[in-house]
Amino acid sequence: MADRTPIISCRNVTKRFGEQVVLHNFNLDIYPGETMVIMGGSGSGKSTCLRLMIGSLRPEEGEIWMFGQNLTSLDEREMNEARKKFGILFQSGALFNSMTVAENVALPLEEHTDLDPEIIDIQVKIKLELVGLREAAEKLPGMLSGGMKKRAGLARALALDPRILFYDEPSAGLDPVTSAQIDQLIMNMSRHLGVTSIVVTHEMDSAFTIADRMAMLDKGRILKVESREWYERLRDMPKDRAGDLTTDEQLIRQFLRGEAEGPFTNRKDGQGLATALFGSDSTTRAR
Ligand SMILES: Nc1ncnc2c1ncn2[C@@H]1O[C@H](COP(=O)(O)OP(=O)(O)O)[C@@H](O)[C@H]1O
Ligand SMILES: [Mg+2]
């Protein structure tokens, strides 16, 4: 990466909900063009981290910089201006069901630009082409498969040619083949459009496919921000050498390998791997 000025910089950020500290004093720099995967178990704070970076939540402490602007100091109007520079793909695709796919994709262009309808039409076609949905332009979201909804959501997120794309669990609820297709699409966006991607996921196959760098979150703490290769080495390290690892590294290794036994499971707080992976409501499921 030639440009080492971060496009996003989280500095000493702490987020609380009431008494609960959901993210503890974390630092995270994201560089132009890279794909950063934020992973961690359910409830570890991944979505909160994302919502802080898109300015839909404000931290109690610390600063979040994007494009050299301190998001935490912007008023609502300035924040709306900043929002035009990034796209977000939410879990469901968050489409309007009464509007066609093309109308959904046109919406940000109609709201935020003064472009003529013919130009908007062309833009919409280009975006749908990018995600392989040209033929679905006139369909209603209700007629689409899960994967197609995600594609449509992505086309809409691309409408204003953002430099940054945020994805929250992009492959959640998709079958393995569709989920692999979404991974390819995410990679195409960064390769062909040069966008910076921040992807939140707990699916390790997907994480290792798309990431340049990875950040492991555990209970609101970022344990490590390292290259994908670093994480691959940790995952593939033989068990007889794993004893030399720090507790955090052992914990990450267990998470990456999806193993039932290890520091993740043997924690004093009584929460096991099931809780870490599926959330605190899952004890019955895991039994
Ligand atoms: N709006 C909110 N109000 C109160 N607590 C919240 C809110 N959003 C998230 N939390 C809590 O913050 C923690 C982290 O949640 P979240 O960021 O959604 O985790 P993840 O996306 O990793 O599953 C959880 O304990 C969750 O219950
Ligand atoms: Mg989440």
Index of the ligand 1 atom closest to the CA of residue 40: 22
User: pLDDT digit string (tens) for 91-141?
Assistant: 766 889 999 999 999 999 999 999 999 999 999 999 999 999 999 999 999
In a domain, 49, yes or no: no
User: pLDDT digit string (tens) for 212-264?
Assistant: 999 999 999 999 999 999 999 999 999 888 888 999 999 999 999 988 777 77
In a domain, 7, yes or no: no
Index of the ligand 1 atom closest to the CA of residue 279: 23
Q: Which residue is closest in CA terms to ligand 1's atom 14?
A: 45
Cα→Cα distances 17→120, 164, 218, 278, Å: 41, 27, 17, 21
In a domain, 61, yes or no: no
User: pLDDT digit string (tens) for 141-200?
Assistant: 999 999 999 999 999 999 999 999 999 999 888 999 999 999 999 999 999 999 999 999
Q: Find the 256 Cα to ligand 1 centroid distance in Å.
A: 22
Cα→Cα distances 214→13, 229, 231, 258, 263, Å: 18, 10, 8, 17, 20
Cα→Cα distances 256→79, 99, 122, 253, Å: 36, 40, 43, 5
Which residue range forms the structural domain that includes residue 90?
A: 34-42+77-209+224-286
- Average pLDDT along the chain: 90
Task: Give how many domains the chain has, as a whole number.
Answer: 1
In a domain, 271, yes or no: yes
In a domain, 203, yes or no: yes
In a domain, 282, yes or no: yes
User: pLDDT digit string (tens) for 55-78?
Assistant: 999 999 999 999 999 999 999 999
Q: If pLDDT is split at 50, 70 and 90, which confidence band does 286 have? A: very low
Do the Cβ atoms of 159 and 106 come closer than 8 Å? yes
User: 3-class DSSP state for residue 3?
Assistant: coil
In a domain, 47, yes or no: no
Q: How far apart are CA 79 and CA 81, in angstroms?
A: 5
Q: Which residue is closest in CA terms to ligand 1's atom 5?
A: 17
Q: Which residues have CB under 6 Å of ligand 1?
A: 17, 22, 40, 42-48
Question: Which CATH number belongs to the domain containing residue 145 in this structure?
Answer: 3.40.50.300
Q: What is the pLDDT of residue 239?
A: 85
Report which bound ligand comes closest to the CA of 216: 1
In a domain, 278, yes or no: yes
